[in-house]
Amino acid sequence: MLPGPTNVFGGTFSMGIALIITVLQIVRVPNLKVGTVLLGCAFLYDIFWVFVSKWWFHESVMIVVARGDKSGEDGIPVLLKIPRMFDPWGGYSVIGFGDIILPGLVVAFSLRYDWMTKKSLRAGYFVWAMTAYGLGLLVTYVALNLMDGHGQPALLYIVPFTLGTIITLGKKRGDLKTLWTRGEPERPCPHVQLQPLEQKE
């Protein structure tokens, strides 16, 4: 019997969301350089195992593992299954935890930077990064439908949108050097007390 939407959004789904939130709270990206390297490696990894692995193994390893085709199970517990709204056959769309957590680390970094610099929502980076992530995810699902349901590496679309937006805005606003290296605004050392200048008599 196929699980219905109530089962999908039950315990397993809730545990997955809780795990994602916990990781995003604990793990922190110190600067944009580390975030770029992390997402760049994940970008290449995703493309390799979805597309390139077909040439060596005659099928996409990532898709087989995600669906659990060879195990007889209902898929490995590192992805979220979301019922398709208008699918008369009750199909599912799946997204891996990595497609949420890895870009999420960079989005969380942008939020921390906005807090430390006391930027407004419009002048900050968080809202723009979240919007870019949403657009990347939307393009992923459009590509999925255009490819007749063949699996797509979500990071292929999400990474350029998310990183591209933050880097472009940072360069335009003059914050890119700070974002790239320090990851936080410069602050005076709290141990150094500035002495007031003596008034001339």
For residue 16, the model assigns a pLDDT of: 81
Average pLDDT on 106-112 reads 96
Residue among 99, 114, 148, 175 flagged as catalytic: 99
Q: Which of 47-56, 109-118, 131-140 comes out lowest in average pLDDT?
A: 47-56
- In a domain, residue 89? The reply is no
- Catalytic, 69? Answer no
CA-to-CA dists, residue 35 to 101, 132, 161, 166, angstroms: 12, 15, 14, 11
What DSSP line would sit under 123-148, residue for residue?
A: TSSHHHHHHHHHHHHHHHHHHHHHTT
What are 33's two structure tokens? 């350089």
- In a domain, residue 166? The reply is yes
Number of domains in the chain: 1
89 confidence band (pLDDT: 50, 70, 90):
low
Average pLDDT on 186-194 reads 56
- In a domain, residue 139? The reply is yes
Instruction: Give the model confidence (pLDDT) of 121-171 as tens digits.
Output: 888 999 999 999 999 999 988 887 787 656 788 899 999 999 999 999 999
- In a domain, residue 91? The reply is no
- In a domain, residue 155? The reply is yes
3-class DSSP assignment, residue 73 = coil
- In a domain, residue 128? The reply is yes
- The single-letter DSSP state of residue 33 is H
- In a domain, residue 192? The reply is no
- Catalytic, 46? Answer yes
**Beta carbons within 8 Å of 194's beta carbon, 6+ residues apart:** 188
- In a domain, residue 188? The reply is no
> Over the range 35-47, which residues count as b (16 or more CB within 10 Å of their CB) and which as e?
bbebbeebbeebb
Q: Is 107 exposed, middle or buried (0-12, 13-18, 19+ CB in 10 A)?
A: buried
The reported pTM is 0.77
Q: Higher model confidence: residue 42 or residue 14?
A: 42
Provide the domain limits for residue 161: 29-74+98-182
Average pLDDT on 9-34 reads 85
